[in-house]
Amino acid sequence: MKLADVDLCNLALDQIAQTNITSLNDGTDASAKCARSYNQTVRYVLRSGRWKSARVKLQLAQTANMFDPAVVATNGTQGNVGTPVGGWPPGANYTVITDPAGSLDEGPAYGDPQMAYPYQLPPDYLRLVRFNDVDSATTSYPFWAIRGNQIWSNQTQAFLEYVRDVTITGVQGSNPPSIGDLDSDLQEVIIKGLAARLAWIFQQSTKLQDQLKKEYDMMLARALAIDSRSERIALRSPYIDSGWIRARWISTAK
């Protein structure tokens, strides 16, 4: 059963023997204490995994005025793309690598380890899953690095799949999941994590808090295992994205 935020809080309160609330702002002491811990607990749990029920995918907008427009061709194929404004990444110029005509990944910047293109991360971003359909757990291209609220890359466009903060509303993306859309096992982990936080606030009991933390760790491990087995994807091979690796692969295959 999918639960709302007040349901999650009440189930957490049940585990520490506290009176239920009608909302997170019903004016009671219990609701005020729950409200202070609720959002942070949800974010903490969501950051701990690549939860499929909390994901969204969208195209990012390139951050304006972060590179020298005088040396960047509008089609993105100019050899010298200039020095990014702001001093990061370090170095002078960045060479765009264009693969041979007819290759599957023909275009600029593939194989280039220098990241000259910044993109603004969405306000509900918590954890990256895939960047331009390349899994973050692989060592394949493209290159990317998260700096503050931006992601820098050697790619001239950016499609991001990420775990979102479901406590934030009004964000971009196609049907972004809310708290009620989360998998039931994930919701149970949030309940247990919230109960562990509230145990000291309400009961000042380290014994109860430690017990709830142990239960949280076990539930988290179980939920992560179940979530990891609910998806099978085809990972991009590194030789497709790199002319150098592709040449080595072809030469050893002869």
The per-residue pLDDT for range 87-97, each reduced to its tens digit, is 333 333 444 43
Specify the pLDDT at position 142.
60
Tens of pLDDT, residue by residue, the chain (254 residues):
578 999 999 999 999 999 999 999 999 999 999 999 999 999 999 999 999 999 999 999 887 645 433 334 444 443 344 444 333 333 334 444 344 444 434 333 333 345 677 888 999 999 999 888 878 777 655 678 888 888 888 777 889 999 999 999 877 666 789 999 999 999 999 999 999 999 999 988 899 999 999 999 999 999 999 998 877 666 555 445 555 555 554 555 54
SS3 of 5-41: HHHHHHHHHHCCCCCCCCCCCCCCHHHHHHHHHHHHH
Specify the pLDDT at position 176.
86
User: 206-228 vs 184-203: helix axis angle to the nearest 10?
Assistant: 170
Specify the pLDDT at position 118.
83
Quick one: DSSP state of residue 154?
S
Q: Name the strand (E) or helix (H) holding 44.
A: helix 29-47
Specify the pLDDT at position 211.
96
Q: Cα dihedral sign for 117, 122, 127, 131? A: negative
Joined together, the tokens standing for residue 43 give 């974010």
Q: How far apart are CA 20 and CA 35, in angstroms?
A: 13
Residue 183: count of CB within 10 angstroms of its CB = 18
Specify the pLDDT at position 123.
92
Specify the pLDDT at position 90.
37
Helix (H, G, I), strand (E, B) or coil at 219: helix
Residue 218: count of CB within 10 angstroms of its CB = 12
Specify the pLDDT at position 115.
66
Q: How far apart are CA 167 and CA 91, in angstroms?
A: 39
Residue that the structure tokens 């979530």 belong to: 227
The reply to whether the predicted model has a pTM over 0.85 is no
Specify the pLDDT at position 157.
83
Residue that the structure tokens 């990444």 belong to: 89
